[in-house]
Amino acid sequence: MEEAMIVKVRGIMSYITLIVFLILLILSCATTGVNKYQPNIFSTKQELELGARFAKEIEVQSRLCAVQAVNRFIEELGQRLVNVSDRPDIPYHFKIIDEPDQINAFALPGGYVYVYTGLLKQADSEAEVAGVLAHEIGHVVARHATERLTLLYGYRLGVSLLLGDDPSEIKKLVANLFGTGGLLAYSRQNEYEADKLGVKYVVRAGYDPKGMLQFFQKLKILQQHEPSKLEQLLSTHPPISERIKRVKELIQQSRTTNGKMGRVKYQMIKSLIP
């Protein structure tokens, strides 16, 4: 009789746990970034804490750019875009990873954005770099990272594992989530949404959105001649040809006829990149 009662109580507790989990998902759906109805069990506070932990590990493993003029340029450009974004109320951090052969950029949860020197060397204008940063800001605005983590780990593991106190676990997670072909590779829908937001923020900040298109077109040419240089980028993003088509449509929809390219200033900055 007593054992039956224990089993019954456990069943009730499991049911209550499930109900609580579903309620949390529903509540989180109502407060998630731009795409309002995606499950996300992380509060903004937890997202910021998680991003800080991931950023610390990324920066332990990486060599950051030491040229202050270049760092300042990227930080100021990034903040200019943040100010016209749909989520300017959290702190953003823009850092450069000194890897000349790596053509990529990525965003961690909570507003940590990283761009590689290899990508900066491929660009020829402020508008091109603005397009890259605006795309990554779009991921932060839409909270794509924590949505993806919610899908990967769920509520039970999510908060306890990702916000636990074991540094070795964070190190493993960073490798698994952000390495080549990592688990945090976004869906096509996520990438297209980030491109859409990116075009919007570039236009709002006064830049020519064609800079974003021009950069993709450069990558397309590079893919044809030196595909190995784009291995990591292509492992976590939709095909470049698809993105070119999509961005062309977004630019047409924006009906923007002018905007800043910033070629002269950027060439000065580019010459300082090691």
Distance of CA 164 to the CA centre of its chain: 22
- Which residue out of 124, 128, 136, 147 is catalytically annotated? 136
Verify whether residue 226 is a known catalytic residue: no
- Which residue out of 126, 191, 193, 195 is catalytically annotated? 195
Q: Report the candidate in 164, 50, 45 with the shortest Cα–Cα distance to residue 108.
A: 50
Distance CA 123, CA 106 (A): 16
CB-CB neighbours of 221 under 10 Å: 10
Count helices and strands in the chain by DSSP H and E runs = 12, 3
Phi-psi map region of 105: left, alpha, beta (phi>0 left; psi -120 to 50 alpha): beta
CB-CB neighbours of 231 under 10 Å: 13
Q: Report the candidate in 183, 213, 218, 182 with the shortest Cα–Cα distance to residue 195.
A: 213
Verify whether residue 124 is a known catalytic residue: no
Distance CA 157, CA 169 (A): 12
Distance CA 34, CA 86 (A): 8
Distance CA 52, CA 177 (A): 15
Could you give the residue numbers annotated as active site? Answer: 136, 195
